[in-house]
Protein backbone atom coordinates (compact mmCIF):
# COMPACT_ATOMS: atom_id res chain seq x y z
CA UNK A 1 0.00 0.00 0.00
CA UNK A 2 1.54 3.31 -1.10
CA UNK A 3 1.65 6.57 0.82
CA UNK A 4 1.81 10.20 -0.28
CA UNK A 5 1.35 13.65 1.22
CA UNK A 6 -2.16 12.71 2.18
CA UNK A 7 -1.03 9.65 4.16
CA UNK A 8 -2.08 6.07 3.53
CA UNK A 9 -3.89 5.55 0.22
CA UNK A 10 -6.86 3.19 0.73
CA UNK A 11 -6.68 -0.13 -1.02
CA UNK A 12 -9.46 -1.03 -3.46
CA UNK A 13 -9.91 -4.43 -1.82
CA UNK A 14 -10.37 -2.71 1.55
CA UNK A 15 -13.06 -0.49 0.06
CA UNK A 16 -14.86 -3.49 -1.42
CA UNK A 17 -14.64 -5.25 1.94
CA UNK A 18 -16.32 -2.24 3.50
CA UNK A 19 -19.03 -2.34 0.84
CA UNK A 20 -19.65 -5.99 1.73
CA UNK A 21 -20.91 -4.78 5.12
CA UNK A 22 -23.68 -2.75 3.48
CA UNK A 23 -26.94 -4.65 3.07
CA UNK A 24 -29.63 -3.76 0.58
CA UNK A 25 -32.38 -2.41 2.87
CA UNK A 26 -35.09 -4.43 1.11
CA UNK A 27 -33.33 -7.69 0.26
CA UNK A 28 -31.25 -7.70 3.46
CA UNK A 29 -28.15 -9.09 1.79
CA UNK A 30 -24.77 -7.45 1.02
CA UNK A 31 -24.84 -5.25 -2.07
CA UNK A 32 -21.61 -6.93 -3.20
CA UNK A 33 -23.35 -10.33 -3.26
CA UNK A 34 -26.26 -8.90 -5.23
CA UNK A 35 -24.11 -7.46 -8.02
CA UNK A 36 -25.10 -3.92 -7.08
CA UNK A 37 -21.57 -2.49 -7.00
CA UNK A 38 -20.88 -1.24 -10.50
CA UNK A 39 -17.39 0.17 -9.94
CA UNK A 40 -14.94 1.41 -7.32
CA UNK A 41 -12.34 4.08 -8.06
CA UNK A 42 -9.69 5.26 -5.60
CA UNK A 43 -7.82 8.50 -6.38
CA UNK A 44 -4.25 9.21 -5.21
CA UNK A 45 -5.49 11.68 -2.62
CA UNK A 46 -7.73 9.10 -0.96
CA UNK A 47 -10.99 10.20 -2.58
CA UNK A 48 -13.21 7.22 -3.39
CA UNK A 49 -15.91 7.10 -6.04
CA UNK A 50 -18.43 4.22 -5.86
CA UNK A 51 -21.05 3.49 -8.48
CA UNK A 52 -24.01 1.46 -7.25
CA UNK A 53 -26.75 -0.19 -9.26
CA UNK A 54 -30.31 0.28 -8.03
CA UNK A 55 -32.71 -2.58 -8.72
CA UNK A 56 -35.31 -0.17 -10.14
CA UNK A 57 -35.17 3.47 -11.19
CA UNK A 58 -37.71 4.62 -8.63
CA UNK A 59 -36.08 2.81 -5.71
CA UNK A 60 -37.65 4.36 -2.57
CA UNK A 61 -34.52 3.70 -0.51
CA UNK A 62 -31.91 5.29 -2.77
CA UNK A 63 -31.00 7.84 -0.09
CA UNK A 64 -30.61 5.09 2.51
CA UNK A 65 -28.25 3.16 0.23
CA UNK A 66 -26.23 6.30 -0.53
CA UNK A 67 -25.96 7.16 3.16
CA UNK A 68 -24.92 3.67 4.27
CA UNK A 69 -22.37 3.24 1.46
CA UNK A 70 -20.84 6.61 2.33
CA UNK A 71 -20.66 5.73 6.03
CA UNK A 72 -19.09 2.31 5.42
CA UNK A 73 -16.43 3.49 2.97
CA UNK A 74 -15.57 6.53 5.11
CA UNK A 75 -14.34 4.19 7.84
CA UNK A 76 -11.61 2.71 5.60
CA UNK A 77 -8.17 4.04 6.62
CA UNK A 78 -6.88 6.65 4.19
CA UNK A 79 -10.26 7.63 2.73
CA UNK A 80 -10.54 11.40 2.53
CA UNK A 81 -13.89 11.62 0.78
CA UNK A 82 -16.66 9.46 -0.71
CA UNK A 83 -18.74 10.13 -3.79
CA UNK A 84 -21.63 7.76 -4.50
CA UNK A 85 -23.30 7.74 -7.88
CA UNK A 86 -26.34 5.65 -8.73
CA UNK A 87 -27.23 3.73 -11.86
CA UNK A 88 -30.09 1.34 -12.63
CA UNK A 89 -29.86 -2.37 -13.42
CA UNK A 90 -30.69 -3.49 -16.91
CA UNK A 91 -33.51 -5.95 -17.54
CA UNK A 92 -30.95 -8.74 -17.91
CA UNK A 93 -29.28 -7.84 -14.62
CA UNK A 94 -32.65 -7.86 -12.85
CA UNK A 95 -33.45 -11.29 -14.29
CA UNK A 96 -30.10 -12.61 -13.07
CA UNK A 97 -30.71 -11.11 -9.62
CA UNK A 98 -34.18 -12.65 -9.40
CA UNK A 99 -32.83 -16.05 -10.44
CA UNK A 100 -30.06 -15.76 -7.84
CA UNK A 101 -32.52 -14.89 -5.07
CA UNK A 102 -34.72 -17.84 -5.95
CA UNK A 103 -31.73 -20.12 -5.71
CA UNK A 104 -32.62 -21.82 -8.96
CA UNK A 105 -36.16 -22.62 -7.78
CA UNK A 106 -39.04 -22.41 -10.19
CA UNK A 107 -41.22 -19.32 -10.16
CA UNK A 108 -44.47 -19.36 -8.15
CA UNK A 109 -43.18 -21.98 -5.76
CA UNK A 110 -44.07 -21.42 -2.11
CA UNK A 111 -40.77 -21.91 -0.25
CA UNK A 112 -42.46 -22.52 3.11
CA UNK A 113 -44.31 -25.55 1.72
CA UNK A 114 -41.14 -27.36 0.70
CA UNK A 115 -40.26 -30.40 2.88
CA UNK A 116 -36.85 -28.95 3.77
CA UNK A 117 -38.20 -25.59 4.98
CA UNK A 118 -37.08 -24.69 8.50
CA UNK A 119 -39.49 -21.75 8.78
CA UNK A 120 -42.21 -22.09 11.40
CA UNK A 121 -45.50 -20.95 9.85
CA UNK A 122 -48.29 -19.88 12.19
CA UNK A 123 -51.75 -19.12 10.80
CA UNK A 124 -53.40 -16.83 13.36
CA UNK A 125 -57.15 -17.52 13.25
CA UNK A 126 -60.29 -16.46 15.05
CA UNK A 127 -63.93 -17.39 14.85
CA UNK A 128 -65.23 -13.85 14.76
CA UNK A 129 -63.91 -10.36 14.28
CA UNK A 130 -63.08 -7.94 17.05
CA UNK A 131 -61.19 -10.35 19.29
CA UNK A 132 -57.83 -8.64 18.73
CA UNK A 133 -56.32 -11.19 16.36
CA UNK A 134 -54.31 -8.62 14.40
CA UNK A 135 -53.04 -6.95 17.60
CA UNK A 136 -51.85 -10.33 18.82
CA UNK A 137 -50.19 -11.14 15.47
CA UNK A 138 -48.33 -7.83 15.27
CA UNK A 139 -47.07 -7.96 18.86
CA UNK A 140 -45.98 -11.59 18.61
CA UNK A 141 -44.03 -10.75 15.45
CA UNK A 142 -42.37 -7.71 17.02
CA UNK A 143 -41.50 -9.64 20.19
CA UNK A 144 -39.93 -12.51 18.25
CA UNK A 145 -37.93 -10.09 16.11
CA UNK A 146 -36.72 -8.33 19.26
CA UNK A 147 -35.52 -11.72 20.49
CA UNK A 148 -33.30 -12.02 17.42
CA UNK A 149 -35.49 -14.12 15.13
CA UNK A 150 -36.04 -13.36 11.45
CA UNK A 151 -39.77 -12.78 11.20
CA UNK A 152 -42.27 -12.08 8.43
CA UNK A 153 -46.00 -11.29 8.50
CA UNK A 154 -48.54 -11.86 5.75
CA UNK A 155 -51.62 -9.71 6.21
CA UNK A 156 -53.97 -12.33 4.80
CA UNK A 157 -57.08 -10.48 5.96
CA UNK A 158 -57.64 -9.05 2.49
CA UNK A 159 -60.90 -7.27 3.29
CA UNK A 160 -59.88 -6.01 6.72
CA UNK A 161 -56.15 -5.42 6.32
CA UNK A 162 -54.63 -3.49 9.24
CA UNK A 163 -51.17 -4.94 9.90
CA UNK A 164 -49.07 -2.20 8.20
CA UNK A 165 -50.55 0.54 10.38
CA UNK A 166 -50.34 -1.51 13.58
CA UNK A 167 -46.72 -2.46 12.95
CA UNK A 168 -45.67 1.01 11.82
CA UNK A 169 -44.88 0.09 8.20
CA UNK A 170 -45.12 3.10 5.89
CA UNK A 171 -42.95 1.87 3.02
CA UNK A 172 -44.10 0.37 -0.25
CA UNK A 173 -42.97 -2.91 -1.85
CA UNK A 174 -40.42 -2.77 -4.67
CA UNK A 175 -40.73 -5.11 -7.62
CA UNK A 176 -37.68 -6.73 -9.21
CA UNK A 177 -38.78 -8.66 -12.27
CA UNK A 178 -41.53 -10.92 -10.87
CA UNK A 179 -40.30 -10.72 -7.29
CA UNK A 180 -41.67 -8.37 -4.65
CA UNK A 181 -39.39 -6.93 -1.96
CA UNK A 182 -41.44 -6.42 1.22
CA UNK A 183 -40.97 -3.34 3.41
CA UNK A 184 -40.14 -3.84 7.06
CA UNK A 185 -40.54 -2.16 10.43
CA UNK A 186 -39.33 -3.09 13.88
CA UNK A 187 -37.31 -5.91 12.34
CA UNK A 188 -40.38 -7.55 10.76
CA UNK A 189 -40.94 -7.95 7.01
CA UNK A 190 -44.55 -7.32 6.01
CA UNK A 191 -46.78 -7.69 2.97
CA UNK A 192 -50.39 -6.56 2.75
CA UNK A 193 -52.93 -5.82 0.05
CA UNK A 194 -53.19 -2.38 1.64
CA UNK A 195 -49.77 -1.59 0.15
CA UNK A 196 -51.22 -1.95 -3.35
CA UNK A 197 -54.55 -0.14 -3.02
CA UNK A 198 -54.95 3.66 -3.20
CA UNK A 199 -55.83 5.38 0.06
CA UNK A 200 -58.40 3.50 2.10
CA UNK A 201 -60.14 1.93 -0.90
CA UNK A 202 -62.05 -1.30 -0.19
CA UNK A 203 -61.09 -4.59 -1.81
CA UNK A 204 -64.06 -6.17 -3.58
CA UNK A 205 -62.90 -9.62 -4.63
CA UNK A 206 -64.31 -13.12 -4.70
CA UNK A 207 -62.70 -16.46 -3.86
CA UNK A 208 -60.36 -17.10 -6.83
CA UNK A 209 -58.84 -13.61 -6.58
CA UNK A 210 -58.32 -14.02 -2.85
CA UNK A 211 -56.46 -17.28 -3.47
CA UNK A 212 -54.35 -15.62 -6.17
CA UNK A 213 -53.41 -12.75 -3.87
CA UNK A 214 -52.37 -15.09 -1.07
CA UNK A 215 -50.36 -17.20 -3.51
CA UNK A 216 -48.51 -14.10 -4.68
CA UNK A 217 -47.78 -13.04 -1.09
CA UNK A 218 -46.25 -16.43 -0.38
CA UNK A 219 -44.53 -17.25 -3.68
CA UNK A 220 -43.65 -13.93 -5.32
CA UNK A 221 -42.45 -12.03 -2.24
CA UNK A 222 -38.76 -12.41 -1.42
CA UNK A 223 -38.87 -13.29 2.27
CA UNK A 224 -35.31 -14.47 2.65
CA UNK A 225 -34.37 -16.99 5.32
CA UNK A 226 -37.14 -16.60 7.91
CA UNK A 227 -37.32 -18.31 11.28
CA UNK A 228 -41.02 -17.56 11.68
CA UNK A 229 -43.80 -16.52 9.31
CA UNK A 230 -47.12 -15.33 10.78
CA UNK A 231 -50.28 -15.18 8.68
CA UNK A 232 -52.99 -12.89 10.00
CA UNK A 233 -56.12 -14.64 8.70
CA UNK A 234 -59.58 -13.13 8.32
CA UNK A 235 -62.13 -14.33 10.90
CA UNK A 236 -64.05 -17.50 10.19
CA UNK A 237 -63.45 -20.50 7.98
CA UNK A 238 -63.77 -19.01 4.51
CA UNK A 239 -61.71 -18.96 1.32
CA UNK A 240 -58.43 -17.74 2.83
CA UNK A 241 -58.35 -20.43 5.53
CA UNK A 242 -58.86 -23.09 2.86
CA UNK A 243 -56.22 -21.51 0.59
CA UNK A 244 -53.68 -21.50 3.43
CA UNK A 245 -54.25 -25.22 3.94
CA UNK A 246 -53.65 -25.80 0.23
CA UNK A 247 -50.65 -23.51 -0.22
CA UNK A 248 -48.90 -24.10 3.12
CA UNK A 249 -50.18 -27.43 4.45
CA UNK A 250 -47.51 -27.47 7.18
CA UNK A 251 -48.82 -24.20 8.70
CA UNK A 252 -49.86 -24.57 12.34
CA UNK A 253 -53.03 -22.88 13.53
CA UNK A 254 -53.00 -20.42 16.42
CA UNK A 255 -56.53 -19.68 17.68
CA UNK A 256 -57.33 -16.31 19.28
CA UNK A 257 -60.51 -15.84 21.33
CA UNK A 258 -61.94 -13.77 24.14
CA UNK A 259 -63.33 -15.21 27.41
CA UNK A 260 -66.89 -14.57 26.20
CA UNK A 261 -68.94 -17.74 25.70
CA UNK A 262 -70.26 -16.69 22.29
CA UNK A 263 -66.77 -15.86 21.02
CA UNK A 264 -65.39 -19.13 22.40
CA UNK A 265 -68.00 -21.21 20.60
CA UNK A 266 -67.24 -19.54 17.26
CA UNK A 267 -63.48 -19.80 17.84
CA UNK A 268 -63.81 -23.52 18.46
CA UNK A 269 -65.52 -23.90 15.09
CA UNK A 270 -62.73 -21.95 13.42
CA UNK A 271 -60.09 -24.18 15.02
CA UNK A 272 -61.96 -27.35 14.12
CA UNK A 273 -61.18 -26.75 10.44
CA UNK A 274 -57.79 -28.28 11.26
CA UNK A 275 -59.45 -31.69 11.38
CA UNK A 276 -60.54 -31.34 7.76
CA UNK A 277 -57.29 -29.77 6.53
CA UNK A 278 -55.04 -32.10 8.58
CA UNK A 279 -53.21 -29.18 10.17
CA UNK A 280 -51.92 -28.94 13.71
CA UNK A 281 -53.36 -26.52 16.24
CA UNK A 282 -50.43 -25.13 18.20
CA UNK A 283 -52.55 -23.55 20.91
CA UNK A 284 -55.15 -21.01 22.03
CA UNK A 285 -54.59 -17.41 23.11
CA UNK A 286 -57.21 -15.74 25.27
CA UNK A 287 -57.29 -12.00 24.59
CA UNK A 288 -59.13 -9.38 26.67
CA UNK A 289 -59.04 -11.79 29.59
CA UNK A 290 -59.75 -9.10 32.18
CA UNK A 291 -59.24 -5.42 32.91
CA UNK A 292 -57.15 -4.40 35.93
CA UNK A 293 -58.89 -1.55 37.76
CA UNK A 294 -56.67 1.56 37.53
CA UNK A 295 -57.57 2.49 41.12
CA UNK A 296 -57.45 -0.75 43.11
CA UNK A 297 -55.82 -3.28 40.70
CA UNK A 298 -58.81 -5.61 41.05
CA UNK A 299 -59.40 -7.48 37.79
CA UNK A 300 -62.78 -6.84 36.20
CA UNK A 301 -63.91 -9.69 33.94
CA UNK A 302 -65.53 -7.52 31.26
CA UNK A 303 -66.04 -10.42 28.85
CA UNK A 304 -66.46 -13.21 31.40
CA UNK A 305 -63.96 -15.91 32.19
CA UNK A 306 -62.74 -19.26 30.93
CA UNK A 307 -63.34 -18.86 27.21
CA UNK A 308 -59.77 -19.72 26.26
CA UNK A 309 -59.77 -22.90 28.30
CA UNK A 310 -63.16 -23.93 26.89
CA UNK A 311 -61.84 -23.54 23.35
CA UNK A 312 -58.68 -25.49 24.20
CA UNK A 313 -60.67 -28.30 25.83
CA UNK A 314 -63.08 -28.48 22.92
CA UNK A 315 -60.33 -28.57 20.32
CA UNK A 316 -58.43 -31.19 22.32
CA UNK A 317 -61.51 -33.39 22.20
CA UNK A 318 -62.20 -32.76 18.51
CA UNK A 319 -58.64 -33.26 17.30
CA UNK A 320 -57.59 -35.99 19.71
CA UNK A 321 -54.38 -34.10 20.52
CA UNK A 322 -53.49 -31.81 23.40
CA UNK A 323 -54.28 -28.18 22.57
CA UNK A 324 -52.91 -25.89 25.31
CA UNK A 325 -53.81 -22.36 26.34
CA UNK A 326 -50.61 -20.49 25.51
CA UNK A 327 -51.48 -17.43 27.56
CA UNK A 328 -54.06 -14.83 28.57
CA UNK A 329 -53.72 -11.16 27.63
CA UNK A 330 -55.44 -8.59 29.84
CA UNK A 331 -57.23 -5.53 28.50
CA UNK A 332 -54.67 -2.74 28.34
CA UNK A 333 -55.14 0.74 26.87
CA UNK A 334 -51.47 0.74 25.87
CA UNK A 335 -52.07 -2.25 23.59
CA UNK A 336 -54.75 -0.33 21.70
CA UNK A 337 -52.70 2.86 21.61
CA UNK A 338 -49.70 0.98 20.25
CA UNK A 339 -51.79 -0.42 17.41
CA UNK A 340 -53.11 3.01 16.46
CA UNK A 341 -49.63 4.56 16.55
CA UNK A 342 -47.74 1.71 14.89
CA UNK A 343 -45.72 1.06 18.04
CA UNK A 344 -46.27 -2.48 19.41
CA UNK A 345 -46.64 -2.53 23.18
CA UNK A 346 -44.09 -5.35 23.48
CA UNK A 347 -41.48 -2.81 22.37
CA UNK A 348 -42.73 0.42 23.96
CA UNK A 349 -43.83 -1.03 27.31
CA UNK A 350 -42.62 -4.64 27.50
CA UNK A 351 -43.20 -4.91 31.26
CA UNK A 352 -46.84 -3.83 31.10
CA UNK A 353 -49.38 -6.61 31.82
CA UNK A 354 -50.29 -7.00 28.15
CA UNK A 355 -46.70 -6.60 26.95
CA UNK A 356 -45.37 -9.20 29.39
CA UNK A 357 -48.13 -11.69 28.49
CA UNK A 358 -47.49 -11.30 24.76
CA UNK A 359 -43.71 -11.62 25.17
CA UNK A 360 -44.20 -14.82 27.17
CA UNK A 361 -46.35 -16.31 24.40
CA UNK A 362 -43.85 -15.19 21.75
CA UNK A 363 -41.08 -16.90 23.71
CA UNK A 364 -43.00 -20.18 23.65
CA UNK A 365 -43.70 -20.01 19.93
CA UNK A 366 -40.33 -18.66 18.85
CA UNK A 367 -38.43 -21.18 20.93
CA UNK A 368 -40.16 -24.22 19.47
CA UNK A 369 -37.92 -26.40 17.33
CA UNK A 370 -39.16 -27.79 14.06
CA UNK A 371 -39.53 -31.55 14.06
CA UNK A 372 -38.29 -33.94 11.38
CA UNK A 373 -41.78 -34.76 10.16
CA UNK A 374 -42.04 -34.13 6.44
CA UNK A 375 -38.32 -33.50 6.01
CA UNK A 376 -36.04 -35.48 3.76
CA UNK A 377 -33.09 -36.83 5.72
CA UNK A 378 -31.13 -37.82 2.63
CA UNK A 379 -30.79 -41.42 3.81
CA UNK A 380 -30.78 -44.25 1.29
CA UNK A 381 -31.63 -47.74 2.57
CA UNK A 382 -29.04 -50.40 1.77
CA UNK A 383 -29.35 -54.18 1.80
CA UNK A 384 -27.33 -55.84 4.53
CA UNK A 385 -26.19 -58.64 2.29
Residues in binding site for ATP: 127-134
What is the distance between the alpha carbons of residues 88 and 246, in angstroms, rounded to a whole number?
Answer: 38
Kindly provide the b/e burial profile for residues 232-254, where b requires at least 16 CB atoms within 10 angstroms of the residue's own CB.
Answer: bbbbbbebbbbbbbebbebbbbb
- Choose among 180, 95, 167: nearest CA to 137: 167
What is the distance between the alpha carbons of residues 349 and 358, in angstroms, rounded to a whole number?
Answer: 11
- Choose among 139, 150, 144, 130: nearest CA to 358: 139
Q: Can you say which residues are annotated as belonging to the binding site? A: 127-134
How do beta strands 228-232 and 151-155 pair?
A: parallel
What is the distance between the alpha carbons of residues 339 and 345, in angstroms, rounded to a whole number?
Answer: 8
Which residues, at least 6 apart from 23, have a Cβ–Cβ distance to it below 8 Å? 29, 30, 31
Which residues, at least 6 apart from 206, have a Cβ–Cβ distance to it below 8 Å? none
How do beta strands 3-4 and 7-8 pair?
A: antiparallel
State the virtual CA torsion across 171, 176, 182, 187 in degrees, nearest 10. Answer: -90
What is the distance between the alpha carbons of residues 217 and 193, in angstroms, rounded to a whole number?
Answer: 9
What is the distance between the alpha carbons of residues 186 and 343, in angstroms, rounded to a whole number?
Answer: 9
Which residues, at least 6 apart from 191, have a Cβ–Cβ distance to it below 8 Å? 152, 153, 154, 155, 173, 180, 182, 217, 221
What HEC string does 216-284 produce?
HHHHCECCCCCCEEEEECCCCCCHHHHHHHHHCCCCEEEEEECCCHHHHHHHHHHHHHHHHHCCCEEEE
How do beta strands 291-292 and 299-300 pair?
A: antiparallel
DSSP conformational letter for 10: P
Say if residues 271 and 237 touch (Cβ distance below 8 Å).
no
Amino acid sequence: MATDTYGTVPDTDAVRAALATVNDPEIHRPITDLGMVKSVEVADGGAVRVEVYLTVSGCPLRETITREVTAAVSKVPGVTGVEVTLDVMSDEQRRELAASLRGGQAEREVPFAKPGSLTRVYAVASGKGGVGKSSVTVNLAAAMAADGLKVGVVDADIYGHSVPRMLGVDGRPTQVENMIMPPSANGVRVISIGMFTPGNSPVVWRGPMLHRALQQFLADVYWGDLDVLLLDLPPGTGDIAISVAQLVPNAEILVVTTPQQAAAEVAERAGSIAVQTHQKIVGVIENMSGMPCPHCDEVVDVFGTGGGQRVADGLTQVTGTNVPVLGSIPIDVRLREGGDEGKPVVLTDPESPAGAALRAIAGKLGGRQRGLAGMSLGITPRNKF
